[in-house]
A and B are shown apart, each in its own frame.
Chain A
């Protein structure tokens, strides 16, 4: 008893721990999420640090015509571990270069669409006066045919952006923005529904009786409690952003044809799928792995952020 007393006192005086430590502790217990984080980490590391070790230029084509024709459509070899494409370019180098763009497009477009969707959903759900206008706007965006809209956007802004940031960065901004502003609607609807239910809960009323202003009620009470659906929408959003980017590039609206992205490589490989199936397998595998690992990370994060699940 006497031995226990000092320990108990220490325990009592310990200041409240930062809750992110609890989140990390719970995240660590989710095996799928850990594997997902590892796989995504490897992919990111490969596309970021890969060019330092694999020094073949992804756009390099043998200038000599005979050599070029001989180097086409090769399979696995030590010189070209992933083989070469129909112009004799090294597939591994193209995968690395393409991955950088695809991952960046996926992440940034997802962030934009989640940001817009969450903002609109929270505002529409929390403020009754904004609900009608914002949700009608959401319906409007849902009803718009996306491809013509993207086409118009690309036509109007490509030159301007290319002039401001250079052709590649300009196209990147354009694509990321175009995907972001055309894919936030589902997130907005889900978030609005959750917020409508949450704001009637007594703890929101309690916060108002304390005198917490609306913006802090939203940040402190509403947003943490709509985290789960946002996480799900976000992880799915990365996948669809990568696919949409490849569709855009395929239509000639995205990056230039010789500029590699995973989606682009996949579309290029489709033509040769029967003869050289590995040409679609590698980019397809990369996209699938990214999506799968992000999904598992999202799953683990969602569990870790919920104190009711934490500690189980």
Chain B
């Protein structure tokens, strides 16, 4: 399913997004919130990459930076052949139709003063020169695609339920036939029964239209349902990037192990046997990340080297990338090695793509 020969639609290299902190009487630049600090990954055409992590780890910032809703501090984001980070404003505008976004809060992401037809039609106004009847036909087509009744075209966002609003958001994102859609926690604001509807709609649209998703979420079960590969983020960096089944069966990075141990098990007998790893302490401030490995302050398997050197994200098994000094390639028992023997040298090889 995940052969390396597939075309890479999105290539992110060393993405950095710092938000400056100004303080003191003169508002001097005294530091940065390192929301995203050197993140690299690829997304293959037609796949769904899940991006998980706890609140404040930089997931949403990655999603927004990918579409250049923020000006990047560093790194490159190549989407379908163009480096989005370096495009001129007009070229970026031309590029917008290939990449769209579905937002977290369906209430806040729809202008309360526009009708549904106006909201879905906005991308068409900006990027196409359709006549009014053509535009209306396209709007109806989009509404059919996401399962909205055509009679709703004149209604305003406040007249819809949460799930319907999220469908409007999805229809808007689909209006320009994008290739790549960033789903920024599209289900976080919905209740569970609606979550399944929306996720199934997203999957169905992917099959039908050949879309590529970056699916940002903190709901691990939902990511397991929809994603092909999953990236686990911690404090602005990727801890582990693995195919879904391998990650859920056997996480390698200590943080991924702890995170996945928090997923509840529906089967009561197995739930009783679940070993929950509870991490000590809090996430350090991204304005002042720890020296060495970002996870070193809370890692259950921490060693001296973790406080000195930052591990690189390396391929430890086919298609599995882990950033940990103690998960090394070509080891027979990767899971046992996480807490096992101390590696003599941290690997310094670059990021394998």
Q: Which residues of A contact B (CB under 8 A)?
A: 8, 11-12, 15-17, 19, 201-203, 205-213, 216, 220-221, 224-225, 305-308, 310
A48–B122 alpha-carbon span in the complex (Å): 43
A16–B154 alpha-carbon span in the complex (Å): 5
Given the known interface contacts A224-B113, A225-B113, A308-B112, the answer about A205 and B122 at a Cβ–Cβ threshold of 8 Å is: no
Verify A211–B92 contact, CB threshold 8 A.
yes
With a cutoff of 8 Å between Cβ atoms, the chain A residues found around residue B96 in the complex are 209-211
Verify A213–B93 contact, CB threshold 8 A.
yes
A312 CB to closest chain B CB (Å) equals 11
A6 CB to closest chain B CB (Å) equals 14
Verify A12–B150 contact, CB threshold 8 A.
yes
Q: Which residue of A lies closest to B118 (CB)?
A: A16
Verify A206–B112 contact, CB threshold 8 A.
no
B127 CB to closest chain A CB (Å) equals 7
Verify A16–B117 contact, CB threshold 8 A.
yes
Q: Mark B98-129, 1 if CB is under 8 A from A, else 0.
A: 00110111001111111101100011001100
A310–B169 alpha-carbon span in the complex (Å): 23
Verify B158–A307 contact, CB threshold 8 A.
yes
Q: Which residue of A lies closest to B104 (CB)?
A: A202
Verify A206–B109 contact, CB threshold 8 A.
yes
The answer, yes or no, to whether B34 is at the interface (CB within 8 Å) is no
Verify B93–A211 contact, CB threshold 8 A.
yes
Q: Mark B119-160, 1 if CB is under 8 A from A, else 0.
A: 000110011000010001000000000000011011010100
4 closest residue pairs by CB, A with B = A211-B96, A202-B109, A307-B156, A202-B108
With a cutoff of 8 Å between Cβ atoms, the chain B residues found around residue A207 in the complex are 111, 122
The answer, yes or no, to whether B229 is at the interface (CB within 8 Å) is no
A205–B172 alpha-carbon span in the complex (Å): 13
Interface positions, chain B 45-87, Cβ under 8 Å from A, are: 64, 67, 69
A8–B150 alpha-carbon span in the complex (Å): 10
Given the known interface contacts A202-B104, A203-B110, A225-B113, the answer about A210 and B122 at a Cβ–Cβ threshold of 8 Å is: yes
Verify B151–A15 contact, CB threshold 8 A.
no
Verify B100–A209 contact, CB threshold 8 A.
yes
Verify A11–B151 contact, CB threshold 8 A.
yes
A170–B316 alpha-carbon span in the complex (Å): 83
Select one of B92, B109, B126, B150 contacting A205, CB under 8 A. B109
With a cutoff of 8 Å between Cβ atoms, the chain A residues found around residue B109 in the complex are 202-203, 205-206
B276 CB to closest chain A CB (Å) equals 34
With a cutoff of 8 Å between Cβ atoms, the chain A residues found around residue B108 in the complex are 201-203
Verify B156–A308 contact, CB threshold 8 A.
yes
Task: Tell me the number of A-to-B contacts counted with CB atoms below 8 Å.
Answer: 81
With a cutoff of 8 Å between Cβ atoms, the chain A residues found around residue B172 in the complex are 206, 210
A224–B104 alpha-carbon span in the complex (Å): 23
With a cutoff of 8 Å between Cβ atoms, the chain A residues found around residue B136 in the complex are 15-16
Verify A225–B112 contact, CB threshold 8 A.
yes
Verify B126–A308 contact, CB threshold 8 A.
no
Verify B111–A17 contact, CB threshold 8 A.
no
With a cutoff of 8 Å between Cβ atoms, the chain A residues found around residue B114 in the complex are 220, 224
Verify B113–A307 contact, CB threshold 8 A.
yes
B221 CB to closest chain A CB (Å) equals 25
Select one of B103, B111, B156 contacting A225, CB under 8 A. B111
Verify A308–B158 contact, CB threshold 8 A.
yes
B306 CB to closest chain A CB (Å) equals 37
With a cutoff of 8 Å between Cβ atoms, the chain B residues found around residue A305 in the complex are 113
8 more CB-based (< 8 A) A-B contacts, given A16-B117, A220-B114, A225-B113: A16-B154, A203-B109, A210-B122, A212-B126, A220-B111, A224-B111, A306-B113, A307-B156
Q: What would 10 A/B residue contacts be, using CB atoms closer than 8 Å? A: A202-B105, A202-B109, A205-B103, A206-B172, A209-B69, A211-B93, A211-B127, A307-B112, A307-B156, A310-B156
Verify B123–A210 contact, CB threshold 8 A.
yes
A15–B153 alpha-carbon span in the complex (Å): 8
A205–B115 alpha-carbon span in the complex (Å): 18
B43 CB to closest chain A CB (Å) equals 17
A210–B110 alpha-carbon span in the complex (Å): 13
A12–B139 alpha-carbon span in the complex (Å): 12
Given the known interface contacts A213-B93, A308-B158, the answer about A16 and B101 at a Cβ–Cβ threshold of 8 Å is: no
B331 CB to closest chain A CB (Å) equals 43
Verify A16–B153 contact, CB threshold 8 A.
yes
A206–B122 alpha-carbon span in the complex (Å): 10
A74–B126 alpha-carbon span in the complex (Å): 67
With a cutoff of 8 Å between Cβ atoms, the chain A residues found around residue B97 in the complex are 211
Select one of A16, A202, A208 contacting B115, CB under 8 A. A16
Q: Which residue of A lies closest to B115 (CB)?
A: A16
Verify B103–A206 contact, CB threshold 8 A.
yes
Verify A202–B103 contact, CB threshold 8 A.
yes
B113 CB to closest chain A CB (Å) equals 4
With a cutoff of 8 Å between Cβ atoms, the chain A residues found around residue B67 in the complex are 209
Verify B156–A212 contact, CB threshold 8 A.
no
A41–B114 alpha-carbon span in the complex (Å): 31
A274 CB to closest chain B CB (Å) equals 53
Q: Which residue of A lies closest to B182 (CB)?
A: A209
A310–B159 alpha-carbon span in the complex (Å): 11
With a cutoff of 8 Å between Cβ atoms, the chain B residues found around residue A12 in the complex are 150-151
A295–B64 alpha-carbon span in the complex (Å): 43
With a cutoff of 8 Å between Cβ atoms, the chain B residues found around residue A202 in the complex are 103-105, 108-109
Verify B112–A209 contact, CB threshold 8 A.
no
Q: Which residue of A lies closest to B157 (CB)?
A: A307
Q: Mark B157-178, 1 if CB is under 8 A from A, else 0.
A: 0100000000001001000100
Verify B101–A209 contact, CB threshold 8 A.
yes
Given the known interface contacts A203-B108, A203-B111, A210-B122, the answer about A17 and B154 at a Cβ–Cβ threshold of 8 Å is: yes
With a cutoff of 8 Å between Cβ atoms, the chain A residues found around residue B117 in the complex are 16
A57–B148 alpha-carbon span in the complex (Å): 67
A159–B235 alpha-carbon span in the complex (Å): 69
Q: Which residue of A lies closest to B89 (CB)?
A: A213
A107 CB to closest chain B CB (Å) equals 25
With a cutoff of 8 Å between Cβ atoms, the chain B residues found around residue A224 in the complex are 111, 113-114
B214 CB to closest chain A CB (Å) equals 13
A17–B156 alpha-carbon span in the complex (Å): 12
Verify B126–A210 contact, CB threshold 8 A.
yes
